[in-house]
Amino acid sequence: MTIFKGSGVALATPMKENGEVNFDAMEKMIEAQIAGGTDALIICGTSGEAPTLDDPEHLDAIDHAVKVTKGRIPVIAGTGSNNTAHAVMMSEESEKRGADGLLLVTPYYNKATQDGLYLHYRKIASATKLPCIVYNVPSRTGTNILPETMARLARDQENIVAIKEASGNISQVAKLAALTDGILDIYSGNDDQIVPLCSLGGIGVISVLANVAPRQTHDMVMFCLEGKWDEARKLQLKALPLVEQLFIEVNPIPVKAALNMQGFEAGSPRLPLTELTDAHKETLRKAMIDFGCL
């Protein structure tokens, strides 16, 4: 049950000056993504500042994305939590609002065992008919879901269909690909590793870079899927300076600054995140110009 192949944008959530979600700006961003060739929309993930959205805002953003997208590309709702019951509730509500899939980050801070992770994900997935993507990002959550656990979930729970792999450990990804052998879709969660993960059988990326460079990110994955490895490699290497700048401070601080530079009215991040420093704005601007997205 593949949800998408290609580039899925981890959409930043635009904010007004008063801190409210800017739904008009969100609509413009979504339309630009679709026009730019993006293959799926991921709403209210890490890049969407989900930890500082309250439940009504979170669900309103999902609802708005579904209505704006109108079925043109899949809408994948970020509903993960370190509280299993809360993740179940948000997943059920997102299904009611028309989401096409779910992105479920590994529980943060609790530091569950591998058995705990297995039970957590089965509990959530059993509460919905939607296809589920597990999001493995140990650098942010402090928890790494091991290939053996992921393979077990893919075998035992029909609607756990994919993983967003952001461990940065290529050896771990290779082992995961070997253990799952085609029963689990693998997406890169790191924009600097799109081509390496695709070379191991990955089918796409869930991307921060795509916020500001949708066409290039889409093309990079398509080159891989079409076997045009030289073209994919060149684009991956060309993107590296911009990717570095998009993570010069913690995500999504730089990408919101980049979107503002492009005129999308992304606004400021919510506390405890802060605005990008002026010095970093200048290096980010240069990288965007060099990559052709400003």
- Residues serving a catalytic function are 135, 164
The C-alpha atoms of residue 170 and residue 194 are separated, in whole angstroms, by 11
Per-residue burial over 47-74, b if 16 or more Cβ lie within 10 Å, else e, is bbbbebbeeebbbbbbbbbbebbeeebb
229: number of Cβ within 10 Å = 13
15: number of Cβ within 10 Å = 21
DSSP notation for 87-140: HHHHHHHHHHTT-SEEEEEPPPSS---HHHHHHHHHHHHHT-SS-EEEEE-HHH
Angle at 25 between CA 19 and CA 91, to 5 degrees: 75
Q: Which two tokens stand for residue 37?
A: 């060739």
The C-alpha atoms of residue 280 and residue 235 are separated, in whole angstroms, by 23
Which secondary-structure segment (H or E) carries 77? strand 75-78
SS3 letters for 216-285?
Answer: HHHHHHHHHHCCCHHHHHHHHHHHHHHHHHHCCCCCCHHHHHHHHHCCCCCCCCCCCCCCCCHHHHHHHH
C-alpha dihedral, 187 to 190 to 193 to 199, nearest 10°:
-10
